[in-house]
Amino acid sequence: MHQPQVKPQVRSQVTIVVVPRERFQFTQKSLESLYDNTQHPFHLIYVDNNSPEHIQSYLEAQVSEKGIELVRSDYFLSPNQARNAGLRRVQTPYVVFVDNDIMFSAGWLAALMRCSKETGASVVGSLVCQYEPLHSIVHCIGGDYMSPEEYSLFSRGESGPNNSLTSPGKWTIEEKTYYQNQPISEVRSQIKRHTAGVIECHAMLVRTTLFNRLGLLDEGFSCTKEYLDFCMLVTRLGEPIYLEPTSVVTFLTHPPAPPLLLSDLPYFMLRWSDAWEKESLEHFQQKWNLADSKYFQKRYKKLGQRRRKELIKPLVAQFTFLSKPAQKWLEKRLVQVEKLFNRYLSKQYQRALDSEIMPLISDYPAPSFPEKDISQQRQFSKAQSSQLQSSQPQSSEEQSSEDQSANLTQLQRQVASLQTSAKR
């Protein structure tokens, strides 16, 4: 990975880190939208993930034109690897992770910053929409991933249900996203600023001191569920997660997405490969001791669905002279062939990486962020606690300060243990 081409003096309070989600075709459109709709001061780190030559040239031009800090990898990175490549270079109290297919509404960043400062929240997500026309159809306004009973146990750092002396109980994931696919005009009055169990990484603000406790993002998640893992870690630390509805963004690649460009195929096929998706799901289950529920069974069964929707189905649709049964037969056969090729592609990519001397993230050290805003965070601890009462049981008012300190130490040790287990 090349060293950054520019290292400007950072005066703003927030750094935006842009990473590729699944393709590169919206790079210029998204970046222009960011500059057009962001009045709040920011520093920009753009992770160029082995983009095609014309995209690379465009981004290099932005170094002189806009003063962006460009970090280029000459091989493909997973989203979390790319985020970490940017995070290692952040020097501000806040970082916002955004994908390279996002379109922004006016004031989106100021709204995230305002929410964090008014609530003391360390993590705030935007209201995410999908499709065009922009900012019109809800994709994610936050959600939940466990039943209320299990979440209550989980958020307190306890073991999963039905645990025993010899075996800790397994958690059951039940991911739910509210108002998805509904017109925002019909539900806007129902969407208020609120705490959420989970938000997605399309546009997510994080107070950087949080990474002093969490460490870098988990690169065991190469394809999916990295947002769930991050939110679960934050919850275990006792930190609330907020959704700010006045910060609105739209991502352009929700299926059915615009047709892929040929130059985007290599990364798209690796990004959504069976190997990366399967490894991510298995890592998620092992790290958090998750039950092999219908949630996971369904996802293992549907490995490769993203490629099927974006590659196979559009190709089969071109054969308009075939009957419906014939088109289904053709689609099934093409899926079988594509899966074999995808397996070969993944193996060849891994072999190419293994033969390289270059480290995946570069030789930048892990970051350590000044704890200047800890006092501000503590000012909001009582307000945060009261807002979380709906999902967490009340603590005893007679609990001693020594007990509270012990509970915090226990939570920090559990997070450290989880990350040590993940590295193994």
Own/partner long-range contacts of 406-411 (Cβ < 8 Å, ≥24 apart)? 407/157, 408/238, 410/157, 411/157, 411/236, 411/237, 411/238
- The lowest-confidence range among 227-231, 248-252, 363-367, 412-416 is 412-416
Token pair for residue 228?
């769930």
Digit-coded pLDDT (tens) for 345-380: 999 999 988 887 555 455 567 788 988 654 444 444
Chain centre to alpha carbon of residue 49: 16
pLDDT digit string, tens, across residues 50-67: 999 999 999 999 999 999
pLDDT band at residue 382, thresholds of 50, 70 and 90? very low
Q: Start-end ranges of CATH 3.90.550.10 in the chain?
A: 14-257+358-417
Per-residue pLDDT of 96-139, as tens digits, reads: 999 999 999 999 999 999 999 999 999 999 999 999 999 999 99
Q: How many helices (H) and strands (E) does the chain have?
A: 17, 12
Residue 173 confidence (pLDDT) above 80:
yes
* Unique residue bearing structure tokens 């108002």: 179
Superfamily of segment(s) 14-257+358-417: Spore Coat Polysaccharide Biosynthesis Protein SpsA; Chain A (3.90.550.10)
Give the model's pLDDT for residue 364: 67
Q: How many residues does the chain have?
A: 424
